[in-house]
Structure 1
Amino acid sequence: MLRTALESIYIFSVIYLVLIYYKLCKNVIFLRRKSKTTIGYKNKKLERAVRAHSNFCETVPFILLISFILYFNNLLFFCVPMLIILIFGRTIHARAISNLNEKLEERRIGMKLTFYSLYLGLAGLIFYISQLIYFSLQASINTTILPQ
């Protein structure tokens, strides 16, 4: 039951991140059409929209890759909180950077949450690697102690 709940939360988190990406992308397209700009920036609002989209594209794929590795190795207790923290961080950051009257503290909080998500993912990878080492050592000890 708990595993099903965690897997559902994980899947919905990934879907939500895709929707955030889509919204940021649509915002850039809308502002480019509105200002008739194909490349570059003609105004601050477009520049901020592009940076919000770019920052999302620069951080989320790598963290998602780590979460997939953890998910497919049954470490849901790392990847689910990691994605929830990432969602809050990216949402706060995108909202803060897109606003012309930027609240720097919100942007900072968004980046901190993003990095906390990354740290949690790295902790999960270290845990996974330590499990691999432990079980391979245990298997080699069992095969050397018990003759066949």
Structure 2
Amino acid sequence: MITPIYAALLALLFLYLSFRTIGVRRALKVGIGDGGDKALSRAMRVHANFAEYVPLILLLLLMLELQLAGGASLMLHVLGLALVIGRCAHAYGVSQPEEVLYFRKVGMVLTFLVLLVTSLWNLALAVF
């Protein structure tokens, strides 16, 4: 199985983002919302953006893997790795006090590309 590798790596990244957000909250003593703090707002958005995209993409990746029954494993690894790199790049870019737009763009392009490819590939397998 391929998807569990990337699901596990992404789960570890999600934990890191969660603990980082909690750490900023504790340091600022903000329980709800962002308290008007930009660093907390950024940490929250990185965490939320991850939660918005990654579960759906992992589901699409798993459905592909199950439908392909061991075929196209290289492509599945490429998609999984692209998602991990994309999410790391996005998290890094958005988390900086002075946002590094290049990393944010790379992260979102890779994320959208994996979402598009897995969506269209699943659709093609279901229809044709």
Question: Is this a same-fold pair by TM over 0.5?
Answer: yes
Equivalences for residues 1-148 of structure 1 within 5 A? 7=1, 9-42=2-35, 43-73=37-67, 74=69, 77=72, 78-130=75-127, 133=128
Uncovered stretches (5+) of structure 1, i.e. residues with no partner: 1-6, 134-148
Matched AA of 1:49: A
Q: Percent identity?
A: 32
RMSD: 1.6
Aligned residues: 124
- Give the alignment's TM-score, normalised by structure 1: 0.77
State the AA in 2 paired with 1:40: G
Which structure has more relative contact order (CA 8 Å, sep 6+)? It is 2
- Cα contact 1:96–1:106 (8 A) shared by 2: yes
What is the Cα deviation at residue 127 of structure 1? 3.3
- The CA deviation at 1:75 is 6.0
- Runs of 4 or more, structure 1, over 3 Å off, are none
Per the normalisation by structure 2, the TM-score is 0.88
User: Displacement of 1:67 after TM fit?
Assistant: 1.0
- For structure 2, the residue ranges without an aligned partner over 5 or more in a row are none
